[in-house]
Amino acid sequence: MYQPEAEVSMTVNVRVINDPPAALVAIVMIPAVIGGLCYLAYNLIIDFQSYSAPYNVLVGFYYYTVVLPFKSIGMVFGFLNNLGITPFPNLNFCITLLLTVFYIFFQLFILAWICETVGEGMVPVLFVLPGLLALGLLILQILFLWLFAI
């Protein structure tokens, strides 16, 4: 027997959200917070000479292992750009860019060699160790100042 098709009616409820989704906020805020913390750490590290005796050496470790390699990329680019290898400025820029990229790869090669020599499991430990030592010295200093306060 033939049965006629039943009439189907569907209603779709659409909810309009005016607020940005939480994922979009996280995508924007997490890099902003990380960038702000890196900027704060950079400003604390570049002034390592002004710290007192044990701290200037420990912060200087991070200056020479983190900040100086990044700053040297800009110094190498500026030096090569002002060198004037050829009389053509556009060719000078291309050569400078190529040699700067080569310098970055050279730094990465040195980093890979250090990781291979020391052992990949030990690199994070050796990198964090001076910071933990500085934190321990700071806690001991605060503790002794508090204990012997008059």
Question: Does a structural domain hold residue 124?
Answer: yes
Residue 72: exposure state from Cβ atoms within 10 A (0-12, 13-18, ≥19):
middle
Looking at residue 131, what is its pLDDT?
83
The rounded radius of gyration (Å) of the Cα atoms in the chain is 28
Alpha-carbon dihedral sign for residues 96, 63, 125, 26: negative
- 93-146 pLDDT, tens digit per residue, is 999 999 999 999 999 998 888 888 887 777 778 888 888 888 888 888 889 888
- 56-103 pLDDT, tens digit per residue, is 888 888 888 888 888 999 999 999 989 888 899 899 999 999 999 999
- 4-62 pLDDT, tens digit per residue, is 565 656 666 666 555 666 667 778 888 899 999 989 888 888 888 888 877 888 888 88
Question: Does a structural domain hold residue 108?
Answer: yes
Give, as one character, the DSSP assignment of residue 142.
Answer: H
Looking at residue 104, what is its pLDDT?
93
Question: Does a structural domain hold residue 1?
Answer: no
Rounded Cα distance between 22 and 141, Å, is 42
Nearest to 110 by CA among 74, 79, 65: 65
Give pTM, 2 decimals: 0.63
Question: Does a structural domain hold residue 14?
Answer: no
Which residue range forms the structural domain that includes residue 35? 22-147
Question: Does a structural domain hold residue 63?
Answer: yes
Question: Does a structural domain hold residue 16?
Answer: no
Looking at residue 11, what is its pLDDT?
67
Rounded Cα distance between 127 and 119, Å, is 12
- Per the CB < 8 A criterion, the answer to whether 132 and 61 are in contact is no
Question: Does a structural domain hold residue 48?
Answer: yes
Question: Does a structural domain hold residue 43?
Answer: yes
Total number of domains in the chain = 1
